[in-house]
Structure 1
Amino acid sequence: MARVLSLLLIGITSVALADDKSFSLNTRTRTETAPGSGRYHTVAKPATWDAAKTAVVICDMWDKHWCDGATGRVGEMAPRMNDLIVAARKRGALVIHCPSDTMAFYKDTPQRKLAMDAPKSEPKVPLERWCKLDPAKEIKLPIDDSDGGCGEVNKNYRAWTRQHEALKIEAGDAITDSEEAYHLMRQRGIENVVVMGVHTNMCVLGRPFAIRQLTKQGLNVVLVRDMTDTMYNPAKAPFVAHCTGTDLVVEHIEKHWCPTVTSVDFLGGKEFRFKEDKRPTLVIVSAEDEYKTETTLPPFALAQLGMDYRVSFVFADAKDKYHLPGIEQLNTADAVLFSVRRKPLMKADLDVVRKYVASGKPIIAIRTASHGFAPRKGESLPAGVEAWETFDKDILGCEYKNHYANALKMTIERAPADGTHSVLADWPTTAVESTCSLYRSNPLAADAIVLLTGKSGDNPVEPIAWVREKAAGRGRVFYASLGNVDDFKQEWFAKLLKNGIAWAAGK
């Protein structure tokens, strides 16, 4: 029941405020699937904060940045950010504007004097002008920003003179760029801090009024993840889209520092996205215990999908085999990739899967997804756990009947009637081999278009990859009965899977 309630709370997309003096937040963090695994569950939890004990910090939202792209993105998000500030202020939160290096512009304002007059308090950890990466708390950042992080050819100089004019400063607000923010918070009895602004890989982490240092002081801190940006140049590692670079740093913060929320929690509506961000959201569900796709799919996604998709992962729960932590991400997904093996689920989890499938959105599946939600032979399911034994026939359009001998290599060829399907763009002109055992998948649905066939030993030819167009009760489908560790090392398989995702997603 608690898990059902959690999923319902997380699925709410309208603004959720407990009353006019508090904030109801849908926080998101990352917890390691198992110690040392390097893989993380995406965990959403509801939280209620007293507005009177909450400060909203606006970090370095300058009028102009030396990088043209950074200036443009600040200008784009400033109106939505101001709406959030207005809503938070109305409920009683303390608003602290922190446009670093511009205090001279505000020297005679009552908001500046308010911050300066706060009595000094003794911090738990000494406050610094800048807090560098903390190896005891975090690993290195997931992006290379050694060139300054600008995607344009701009000269680095101090271009800012004040905060962006779209962010209105009102009576009762404070202005500072130093540890004065912390002292003011102590004076006002602040326990919770909402951080937004720029840039996640720099000031949002390092400033004395930002994430690293306030977290170390024992304050409850959240980052508004759709009200921020990153200094990242896609020409640098990991060679992904600019907005993917921001997502990676946000994930880093969720793993090592604090939860995040979105502006939706304060304003309702949809989360903010930059005009340049056209990426569809792809959720990859990796929950199988044979082919190690939990280790092969993440690097594939970063290398092959980082320019074109907003990717998130759902992994199996090491403690509860019938639960998929974070499966509610399907509620906002544009496409899903299933790599699941014999995984009956708690009803609430399987209901999320069924709801996604029924929405008519794209479905990509590999290898064991043909029996992804079927129980093992003779398995007795606990109360509240359900299977989807006919997922192969209902959705993928096949009938999985086990496989031929593991010792036999599979030879894969283009199907005679495939034509020039986009999924097979750049497919090798000669046959290729896979160490995967050959799945027995026939017969296929009448609407399945076979792209590749496979043969092992003297066994009959079987379909290996096929597509289905959108139909009632489901969206486009791409399936390939491939995907072991060796396959992921092959360029032909990477292209096949990337093309299959693109076709299903309509890109």
Structure 2
Amino acid sequence: MDGLLNGAKIFKSAVILVFAALFCIQNMYGQEAEQWITFEPAHGTDNGQHIVLVSGDDEYRSEEAMPLLAKILSNHHGFKTTVLFAIEPGSGEIKPNFQNNIPGLENLVSADLMVLFTRFRELPDDQMRYIDEYVQAGKPIVALRTATHAFAYSENSESEYAKYSYNSSVPGWEGGFGRKILGETWVDHHGDHGNEGTRGLIDGINERYDHPIIRGVYDIWGPTDVYGTRELEGEVDVLVWGASTKGMTPETPINWEKSIMPVAWTKIYRLEQGNTGNVFTTTMGSSEDMESEGFRRLLVNACYWALDMGEEVPEKTNVDIIGDYSPTNFGFGDFIEGLKPVDYK
């Protein structure tokens, strides 16, 4: 009898240990999943494409802009979307000024398109390798605002990915990811930062030829100022030019004393091994810029074009805002503290 009782106790203890282990595993994966968010398209609307949107800048509130864009792409256009954030490891909270951690980049393995909006990130090699593998495969990219200077290697200059740094001098990668892949790296503020906005001027020749990215795009304005560029690198086609406005509201006139600069263009990037990929870059893109219907339409159309789906862009792409959207003013340290990715669902 004692043997049977002891056996029952051992069995009970084993069952408890198994369930405890399963709970821990489930909890571990649950915590991991909370570090990013995914939006599934409504039943019957899935177009089979997966877009991964990577946020992580400490000034222009990409952590607000990317979830809005993801919702529009998923709800209105049938894309599966996944949004990644800069996460403080200890708290699991979104910390845009935490430069060294963007969990979930392994989602790029299954991504058909990467939308990138980061600034001066120095990611560990085990994260950065997913971005590098994506780029080396020649897969498409849509890049916003600070993505021209998406990476900055100051501490780990010996990393194999240091060539991605905005100020890289590696032969063939001068100017880093921005110059090599997108067409330009960080140059300067052409507009008066914090005092002038950007009025988008649609390129008339591309409009006449009905370029799908600017189809139905008639009005673009945002409070972020015009970035300076040099002659863009590679096979580049400018679609939107940026004029500085004399104030921070859509009604303010253009500052005609300043020249215009490219603020949105396409490029075919080419790598040493021969792979090529579609790129759309815009130097606009703060969370406040996303209030412009014309700018949202430009971005959604660009996602279609980057995926070689330009023929599917309608005359007026649906870019209606989903839910409440009250963007935070851009600025360093002005992000909303204490939020986790699930708060943007």
What TM-score does the superposition give when structure 1 sets the normalisation length? 0.45
Equivalence for 1:395: 181
Q: 1:226-277, CA deviations, whole angstroms, 9 ceiling, x for partnerless residues?
A: xxxxxxxxxxxx994227xxxxxxxxxxxxxxxxxxxxxxxxxxxxxxxx85
| Superposed CA RMSD | 3.1
Are 2:100 and 2:123, in contact at CA under 8 Å, matched by a contact in 1?
Answer: yes
Alignment of 1:265-284 (within 5 A): 277-284=46-53
In structure 2, what is the Cα distance between the partners aligned to 1:490 and 1:186? 62
Equivalence for 1:469: 268
Cα offset, 1:323, TM superposition: 2.6
Q: 1:48-78, CA deviations, whole angstroms, 9 ceiling, x for partnerless residues?
A: xxxxxxxxxxxxxxxxxxxxxxxxxxxxxxx
Alignment of 1:88-167 (within 5 A): none
Equivalence for 2:224: 436
Instruction: Note closer, same or farther for the CA distance 1:188–1:277 as it changes in structure 2 (3 Å cut).
Output: farther
Instruction: Note closer, same or farther for the CA distance 1:411–1:350 as it changes in structure 2 (3 Å cut).
Output: same
In structure 2, what is the Cα distance between the partners aligned to 1:316 and 1:494? 23
Cα offset, 1:402, TM superposition: 1.6
Are 1:357 and 1:474, in contact at CA under 8 Å, matched by a contact in 2?
Answer: no
Alignment of 1:179-328 (within 5 A): 189=15, 219=23, 222=26, 240-242=41-43, 277-306=46-75, 307-319=77-89, 321-328=99-106
In structure 1, what is the Cα distance between the partners aligned to 2:14 and 2:177? 56
Counterpart check, 1:484 vs 2:286: yes
Instruction: Note closer, same or farther for the CA distance 1:219–1:286 as it changes in structure 2 (3 Å cut).
Output: closer
Counterpart check, 1:345 vs 2:123: yes
Cα offset, 1:409, TM superposition: 2.1
* Greater Rg over alpha carbons, structure: 1
In structure 2, what is the Cα distance between the partners aligned to 1:351 and 1:311? 21
Of 240, 262, 270, the match for 1:452: 240
Count, aligned residues: 252
Are 1:364 and 1:478, in contact at CA under 8 Å, matched by a contact in 2?
Answer: yes
AA of the residue aligned to 2:15: G
Are 2:100 and 2:124, in contact at CA under 8 Å, matched by a contact in 1?
Answer: yes
AA of the residue aligned to 1:311: T
In structure 1, what is the Cα distance between the partners aligned to 2:226 and 2:138? 30
In structure 1, what is the Cα distance between the partners aligned to 2:118 and 2:268? 22
Instruction: Note closer, same or farther for the CA distance 1:444–1:382 as it changes in structure 2 (3 Å cut).
Output: closer
Are 1:280 and 1:334, in contact at CA under 8 Å, matched by a contact in 2?
Answer: yes
Cα offset, 1:343, TM superposition: 0.8
Equivalence for 1:373: 151
In structure 2, what is the Cα distance between the partners aligned to 1:296 and 1:188? 49
Equivalence for 1:177: none
AA of the residue aligned to 1:340: T
Cα offset, 1:293, TM superposition: 1.3
Structure 2 unaligned spans of 5+? 1-7, 30-38, 90-97, 167-175, 245-254, 310-345
AA of the residue aligned to 2:62: T
Instruction: Note closer, same or farther for the CA distance 1:503–1:335 as it changes in structure 2 (3 Å cut).
Output: same
Are 2:51 and 2:80, in contact at CA under 8 Å, matched by a contact in 1?
Answer: yes
Counterpart check, 1:329 vs 2:131: no
Counterpart check, 1:424 vs 2:223: no
Equivalence for 1:413: 201
What TM-score does the superposition give when structure 2 sets the normalisation length? 0.64
Are 2:149 and 2:185, in contact at CA under 8 Å, matched by a contact in 1?
Answer: no
In structure 2, what is the Cα distance between the partners aligned to 1:192 and 1:488? 49
AA of the residue aligned to 2:265: W
In structure 2, what is the Cα distance between the partners aligned to 1:349 and 1:364? 19
In structure 1, what is the Cα distance between the partners aligned to 2:78 and 2:283? 24
Instruction: Note closer, same or farther for the CA distance 1:188–1:316 as it changes in structure 2 (3 Å cut).
Output: closer
Cα offset, 1:400, TM superposition: 3.0
Instruction: Note closer, same or farther for the CA distance 1:382–1:302 as it changes in structure 2 (3 Å cut).
Output: same
SS, match of residue 501 in structure 1: helix
Are 2:138 and 2:275, in contact at CA under 8 Å, matched by a contact in 1?
Answer: yes
Are 1:346 and 1:385, in contact at CA under 8 Å, matched by a contact in 2?
Answer: no
Instruction: Note closer, same or farther for the CA distance 1:420–1:346 as it changes in structure 2 (3 Å cut).
Output: same
Instruction: Note closer, same or farther for the CA distance 1:432–1:356 as it changes in structure 2 (3 Å cut).
Output: closer
AA of the residue aligned to 1:293: S
SS, match of residue 361 in structure 1: coil
Cα offset, 1:421, TM superposition: 0.6
Are 1:240 and 1:302, in contact at CA under 8 Å, matched by a contact in 2?
Answer: no
In structure 1, what is the Cα distance between the partners aligned to 2:18 and 2:82? 28
In structure 2, what is the Cα distance between the partners aligned to 1:288 and 1:330? 19
In structure 2, what is the Cα distance between the partners aligned to 1:277 and 1:240? 5
SS, match of residue 284 in structure 2: coil
In structure 1, what is the Cα distance between the partners aligned to 2:123 and 2:64? 22
Equivalence for 1:260: none
Cα offset, 1:189, TM superposition: 2.8
Structure 1 unaligned spans of 5+? 1-120, 122-184, 194-214, 226-237, 244-275
- Identical residues among aligned pairs (%): 25
Instruction: Note closer, same or farther for the CA distance 1:219–1:461 as it changes in structure 2 (3 Å cut).
Output: closer
Runs of 4+ in 1 over 3 A off after TM superposition: 185-188, 190-193, 217-223, 379-387, 469-474
Instruction: Note closer, same or farther for the CA distance 1:192–1:391 as it changes in structure 2 (3 Å cut).
Output: same
